[in-house]
Amino acid sequence: MPLHFANAWMLYGLWLVPVGGLIWLALWRRQNRALAQWLAPTMRAKLCPPPATQRFYWQWAGLLSGCLLALLAAARPQWGVREETVIQRGRDLIIALDVSRSMLAEDVHPNRLQRAQTDIQDLLRELRGDRAALLAFRGRAIQLCPLTTDYAYLEEILNDVTVDSAPRGQTDIGAAIHKALDAFESDQGAHRAIVLISDGEDLAGKARAAAAEAQQRGVVIFTVGLGDPQGATIPSALNKNEVVIYQGQPVVSKLEHATLKALAEITGGVYIPVGVANVKLGTLYRDHLSKIAAQDIEESLQRRYVDRFQWFLLPALLCLLASAGLSRGRLARSVNSAASLQRLARRQLLLALIGLAGACNVMALTQAAPSNTPPASQPVAPAAATKPAIVPGGRAGARLAQSLYRKGKYEEAAATYLEAAASGSTGLRNSLIYNAAGALYRAGQYQAAADHFLALARQENALAAAASYNAGCALFQLADQEPQAGDSHYAIRPRLLEQAGEAFQRAWRRNPELLSARANLASVTQALPAARSEAHTRPLLEKYGQTQPGAIAAEMLDAQRQIVAALPAAMTNATPARINMLEALAEQQRRNTTLLIPLRAQLATAGAQQLAQMQAHLEALENEMQRAREDLRNLDNQAYAAAARAKAGIYNVWKAWAPFPLLLREDLQRQTNAITMLPSMRAAGAQEAIRAEQEEATLLTQLFAERFAEAVPPEGLPPPPEASGPTLINAADTTPPPAQAGISAEKRATILDLAREAQRHQEGAAELLRSPLSSAPEVVLKEQQEAYRLLQAIADLLPQEQQEQPAPDQEATPEQEPAPEQPPTESAEEQSENQPPPAESEPAAPEASSPPPEAAPDSPPAEDSMTPAEARALLEKAVQRERERREERQPTPYIPPAPLEKDW
């Protein structure tokens, strides 16, 4: 018959019983031997009672036996098995957690979502046999955990919940209620409840109807409201220092009491307005959920061991009682009150002498700041500190320094304090250094003051808390100083604020009653995000402060095209090289993303029309660029799709701000691509791709004509005067020189006529491409060639300096280096952007029999032009790869937020 112990760890204490018994026995024998040494047997018989040796041994054995048996009983010995029918009763509880972006608002510490997770954990600790499930809702509701009594597993799922746990979109509380109703295993019984935790913003507006359905099914809804009714901004997904913007205004998320209260009242539940208070959800279970009728959830037949601790507990009690009965007892020892008073007086005198020896002078500085904000002393330029020729050490020097301090000679006082601190005890030296740091603070030498305060704060002494506090004040003042001209103070300001916050935190931890440290810590925390943002953005704004938006967009487009062009080669390389290449591309993507900062600033100062719509587009573009960077860092093949979408977004921004010379160069590139793709017209999906490319070229021609007409007045402009010396051109400057220089009125009219004629031929080619495949490719080619010829004629009429401007996509021609493999693109602005222009020396349009060469993916660069069959096969393969990639992305597609979509 097997033996088990329910509390086996109690058996580790068994060895203490015999050890304690042996020590007791040894002490008893030692006492008897001591009496035998000092007293004769006859005197001992007269002065002491006769020794009860046998009584002691019985008492000793009884006490040890009782302790051993008590420990065995506490270990709960079990043997034998019996079968029991166990009926588990409980309730079914669905926890619906709002994971929309508004739950990231920080009006509740640390934010609403993390606070909700903590509250749910508190609720789970109160459950006793009830089944609980977890679902997250945002645009739709997703069940993360089914009904279970395994609370550890449920808590593990809860810890992994983020805003990405549910599909994006407008917050739909109604969908969450419907999903919770479907999660119940039956539609009968009053044992079901829903706990809905949200800030109450129901953007979909379906919550009340769903609550009415829950009431019909007999399900009670308990709502918990988190957040501030006054509202709080929502941090951006990519930069916590920024907030979500909608229609040009920051989004403010408020706790909607009315919505949550109405949902609870409809179903007969209760609304818990947590708000920003510290409320435990365990009280929700004890006060309300526990009153819901429980039902039999599960019935099982279990085999359980039989407890036998009673067999040990009763003998243990008897042994302990017998041992107590054998004790003779002992009278309390009388206390000699006179001797006690003498000993107490001696101790008090000793303490007084110690206190007198450790006393120090009154410190000149107790606190360096008001009770709620860091000190507001103005910085003073440090001067050469002077001190008396001979400074006495110890307390005499301290008195001299105090007199200088009272006179306002703070620098001299600090130097005198430090000189006097060279001699003296440790406590006195620390006090003098503390006072010296306070004098340096008053003198405006915050860095030196902070160094001395921090040195004291690292020691274990009575001044540590005050020194930490004053160090934080000094560092805050140092960070708050006005930077000098050309000073990079903004770069070190975040670090100074972080050090100040750490100092205030240490002071508060050492002295919880120092409330001013807590208030100053809040001030530092509030100022830190702005300082970090300035340190990140100011270098970019200084570098691109005089750069036009079109030039910044051109630089971004060029960098993004280089990333997209290098991705195929990096993803098909060997693993070690692939990792290095993708990490390098991720760093390039990060640097390219930071250019959005000066681009936003230039757009704001340029007075752009529809700035709100542009800001929404830039936010979606930033999301894509950040996604591409994360995918590159994770070595994910989806990085190409995100990088290509980012390239398309940058292209749209560039197109809105590019000067007309770059528009013409891109127009020639697009028109060349359309001509090159025409031989593959009858391939599956080819006609649509060619038409999109042709329409993009038509749009570029229209934009060129509009911006050329705006840049060059009708009367034209004379050529600029010749420079007296050579002109230095900055290679990093992508801003084109004045395009209108040297254009006469006649030339302006000719260029505009040619542009209108080219646009007419391009529109004709696009119209033919919209017709069925029965249209002859030769007719389309004729229109395309004529449009190309006219565009080339415009390029020849522009001044020579315009022709030397690099296109935004500086790709190598086939004669220079082979083009990298490029997967097919997804939109008109992305298709065939890397095609080189025709390699003719004359501006004549290309012939149908010899189209310009094309960089073909999955094949080496061809020395000769591709045949129509090869081009058709290539395009079919590209379309197939595009279809496969779309199918892979179908389960989790990413759609940039529309301007009117409320994703919070």
Distances (CA, A) of 448 to 404, 411, 452, 454, 478: 19, 11, 6, 10, 10
Give the SS3 label for residue 729: coil
pLDDT at residue 66 greater than cutoff 80: yes
Question: Nearest Cα to 859, choosing from 661, 564, 461, 568?
Answer: 568
DSSP 487: -
Tokens (6 digits) for 801: 């300096």
Beta strands (DSSP E) in 25-76 are none
DSSP 828: G
Q: Give Cβ neighbours of residue 405 (< 8 Å, ≥ 6 apart).
A: 364, 413, 435, 439, 442
Write out the DSSP string of 694-725.
Answer: HHHHHHHHHHHHHHHHHHS-TTEEPPPPPPSS
Give me the helix-helix angle, 257-267 and 207-216, nearest 10°: 20
Kindly tell me the number of DSSP H helices and DSSP E strands found in the chain.
29, 15
Output b/e per residue, 199-223; b: 16+ Cβ within 10 A.
Answer: bbbbbbebbeebbeebbeeebbbbb
**What average pLDDT does the segment 125-131 reach?**
84
| pLDDT-based confidence at residue 529 (cuts at 50, 70, 90) | confident
- The count of other CB atoms within 10 Å of the CB of residue 265 is 15
**CA–CA dist 305, 82 (Å, integer):** 6
**What average pLDDT does the segment 182-209 reach?**
81
Least confident of 34-43, 313-322, 332-341, 483-492: 332-341
Give me the pLDDT at residue 341, please: 43
- 785 contacts 765 by C-beta, under 8 angstroms: no
562 compared with 186, residue with greater pLDDT: 562
394-541 maps to CATH 1.25.40.10:
yes
Question: Nearest Cα to 795, choosing from 847, 738, 843, 835?
Answer: 843
Give me the pLDDT at residue 46, please: 66
- The count of other CB atoms within 10 Å of the CB of residue 320 is 17
Distances (CA, A) of 404 to 193, 369, 436: 74, 21, 11
Tokens (6 digits) for 475: 């560092």
pLDDT at residue 361 greater than cutoff 90: no
| pLDDT-based confidence at residue 367 (cuts at 50, 70, 90) | very low
Domain regions of the chain by residue span: 4-76+319-326, 88-299, 394-541, 658-717+738-886
Tokens (6 digits) for 903: 């994703």
Backbone angles phi, psi at 837, to 5 degrees: -70, 165
pLDDT at residue 372 greater than cutoff 70: no
**CA–CA dist 269, 262 (Å, integer):** 10
- 860 contacts 818 by C-beta, under 8 angstroms: yes
Peptide bond just before 51 cis, omega within 30 deg: no
Give the SS3 label for residue 852: coil
pLDDT at residue 601 greater than cutoff 90: no
Give me the pLDDT at residue 715, please: 79
DSSP 302: E
**CA–CA dist 230, 257 (Å, integer):** 11
Output b/e per residue, 736-748; b: 16+ Cβ within 10 A.
Answer: bbebbebbeeeeb
- 138 contacts 144 by C-beta, under 8 angstroms: no
**What average pLDDT does the segment 114-127 reach?**
89
pLDDT at residue 538 greater than cutoff 80: no
**CA–CA dist 410, 408 (Å, integer):** 5
Least confident of 348-352, 691-695, 780-784: 348-352
Tokens (6 digits) for 217: 């099914």
> Which tens digit of pLDDT belongs to each residue from 419-447?
877 776 777 788 888 888 989 998 888 89
CATH for 88-299?
3.40.50.410
pLDDT at residue 656 greater than cutoff 50: yes
Write out the DSSP string of 115-164.
Answer: HHHHHHHHHHTT-SS-EEEEEEESSSEEEEEEEES-HHHHHHHHHT--GG
**CA–CA dist 549, 538 (Å, integer):** 17
> Which tens digit of pLDDT belongs to each residue from 622-645?
888 888 888 888 878 888 888 888
**CA–CA dist 399, 395 (Å, integer):** 6
- The count of other CB atoms within 10 Å of the CB of residue 260 is 27
Residue with tokens 């020396």: 841
Give me the pLDDT at residue 418, please: 84
Tokens (6 digits) for 310: 């009673």
Residue with tokens 């997967």: 823
Question: Nearest Cα to 222, choosing from 290, 121, 171?
Answer: 290
pLDDT at residue 384 greater than cutoff 60: no
> Which tens digit of pLDDT belongs to each residue from 721-778?
554 443 333 333 444 444 445 688 888 889 889 999 998 988 888 888 887 654 577 8
| pLDDT-based confidence at residue 97 (cuts at 50, 70, 90) | very high
**CA–CA dist 629, 646 (Å, integer):** 11
Across the chain, mean pLDDT equals 74
**What average pLDDT does the segment 407-429 reach?**
81
Distances (CA, A) of 179 to 90, 148, 624: 21, 17, 31
Distances (CA, A) of 146 to 190, 391, 809: 19, 79, 53
Residue with tokens 């704060």: 457
